[in-house]
Structure 1
């Protein structure tokens, strides 16, 4: 995969790890959101991604107090289309993953509201930008924990004791 085109706000598709096996690729690919650009570490390329789900029920909203969820309509993305025209991102569920074919499948889309310049004259896009700025704070806080775990253990995946939903 070409790491040079991945930035914060890039939507990828990966085998996001499940709680039961937090350092192993999950059984099926999920859409995920790049928190930041990929980074190099000990000869590998890694990216921190936030989980995405197609189901957003009351249990998920309650578990995350609604503040850690970001729903984005395809009208605010470019590139490959999202299923059902929506992406539901769980911002505090992040994983460090190696940027390899074992973990990622071909798919690339991008938010079209990650800079204020992209939002000029468009109130809906500006609202999404403001939500994204808040979302980044939530993702960065979660990233700190998962990166500390990664650097201490050299293990990819979820931070200890994190559940997806």
Structure 2
């Protein structure tokens, strides 16, 4: 079994800054201005929530789980049978060099699969982005594999080598 852990650094920084800010304001204003402190804390929460939207969407749409016992690859909201994946395409993906940071940013900027005419991957002849998101998050790596039916699948991942090693082993054992 493989579970890809998503980084939590950005979320921790945002929440830590929010808590430090409201604690500082609370130390300066409580008990005289408790109502003002609560209002300002709620307003800063409105700023915090958009900062946490991207990590939350990554957790929903880019979480990867390989379960050998049930024979499934789960990416975000989608699930695939490991037996339906082409083992040769996984081996080809393993052979590719790891992209640099600049290459990852360029590739993620081009990996769009939005539900608009001309923005779908199928319209451009590109592999379909799996998981339910509209694009690969900026800076994330992506892996392209195919199904036995020939459909190309693009999977966004944080740990390319660990994911491909686990997927390679799982597809090999599904034979």
Same fold (TM over 0.5): no
TM-score computed with the length of structure 2 as normaliser: 0.21
In terms of fraction of residues, the more strand-rich structure is: 1
TM-score computed with the length of structure 1 as normaliser: 0.22
Tell me which of the two structures has the higher relative contact order, counting C-alpha pairs closer than 8 angstroms and 6 or more residues apart: 1
User: Radius of gyration: which is bigger?
Assistant: 2
